[in-house]
Amino acid sequence: MPKKIEIKNLDLFYGQFQALKSVNMAVDGNNIVGLIGPSGCGKSTLLRSINRMNDLIEGVKIRGQVLLEGIDIYSSKLEIYELRKRIGMVFQRPNPFPLSVYDNVSFGLRVEKFKDKKKTAAIVEKSLKAAWLWDELKDKLHKSALSLPLYQQQRLCIARLLAVEPEVILMDEPCSALDPIATMKIEELMLDLKKDYHIVIVTHNMQQASRVSDVCGYMLLGEMVEFGRTADIFTNPKDKRTQDYITGRYG
């Protein structure tokens, strides 16, 4: 069986600047993968390359491979629309559409011209439940999503992804706009979702990486310095640079 995601010798250039240097990593099993490293080391760039979000940036050049179940996502065998459905993304700032809660969650279904109203309602309910929002929002389905507090907006964005049944969820510092209580809730939600989804999370917060991830990668200046079990990275890192970072000796 090919791995869910396998990244092989990935180089990425923004013009002349090389932001990723021969990066290798894999996402497989019921694992949450954490990506850590100092600001500017390429975490977001790497995450975006997994669902081709960098394609939108001018002057980007990519070498190497990102394989989704063995298929190169940069080849013509995979439509970008299909790819983004299979690999969804959550951003630092929640980005709900200026629509109602209901229309946000059902948005992906509308894009697919899914017409069955009863089934749509059932999927909206199921997705909100899966994002632990149903009880909070079941009486506010027609309220504007933008009027919700940020901690609900972020879970709403997660519900919107779940509605189209992705396989992989990419999260780029999903808690950076949230307070500690809302952060805990997202972390608990992630631990619940990992039963059914592959999750990759970029985080600045090492405690968060050690709490939620099973496998972790430490990046520095575009390189994947070390990639392995989170317990090993945090207690027994192989590379001196990883050790310096996790013990706070970096920079």
Ligand X SMILES: Nc1ncnc2c1ncn2[C@@H]1O[C@H](COP(=O)(O)OP(=O)(O)OP(=O)(O)O)[C@@H](O)[C@H]1O
Strand order in the sheet with 17-27: 17-27, 5-14, 60-68, 71-72
- Report phi then psi at 72, rounded to 5: -65, 120
Rounded to a whole number of angstroms, the minimum distance from the CB of residue 59 to Mg ion is 19
Q: Which residues contact 72 (CB under 8 A, 6 or more apart)?
A: 65, 66, 78
Select from 11-19, 124-132, 209-217, 225-233 the region that touches ligand X (CB under 6 A).
11-19
The C-alpha angle with vertex 108 and arms to 102 and 110, in degrees rounded to 5, equals 75
Within 169-208, which residues bind ligand X (CB under 6 A)? 204
Helix (H, G, I), strand (E, B) or coil at 140: coil
Our finding on whether 127 is near Mg ion (CB under 5 A) is no
When binding is defined by CB under 5 A, the residue of 12, 32, 44, 137 that contacts Mg ion is 44
Tell me which residue of 198, 209, 204 sits closest to 231, measured CA to CA: 209
Report 25-64 residues binding ligand X (CB under 6 A): 37, 39-45, 57
Site for ligand X in 120-139 (CB under 6 A): none
Closest among 147, 123, 151, 152 to 137, alpha carbons compared: 152
Partner interacting with residue 10 (select from ligand X, Mg ion, none; CB below 5-8 Å by kind): none
Q: Which of 19, 109, 163, 186 binds ligand X (CB under 6 A)?
A: 19
Q: Which does 212 bind (CB under 5 to 8 A by kind): ligand X, Mg ion, none?
A: none
Quote the least distance from Cβ 48 to ligand X, whole Å: 8
Q: Yes or no: say if 13 and 61 are a contact pair by the CB < 8 Å rule.
A: yes
How far is residue 147 from each of residues 140, 141, 144, 170, 174, measured CA to CA in Å? 11, 12, 5, 25, 19
Give whichever of 45 and 183 is closer to ligand X, judged by the CB atom: 45
What does 39 bind: Mg ion, ligand X, none (CB cut-off 5 to 8 Å by kind)? ligand X
What's the token pair of residue 111?
A: 């894009």
Site size toward ligand X (CB under 6 A) is 13
Q: Quote the CA–CA distance of 23 and 20 in Å, as a whole number.
A: 6
Q: Which stretch binds Mg ion (CB under 5 A): 39-47, 135-143, 161-169, 210-218?
A: 39-47
**Residues near Mg ion (CB under 5 A):** 44
**Residues near ligand X (CB under 6 A):** 14, 17, 19, 37, 39-45, 57, 204
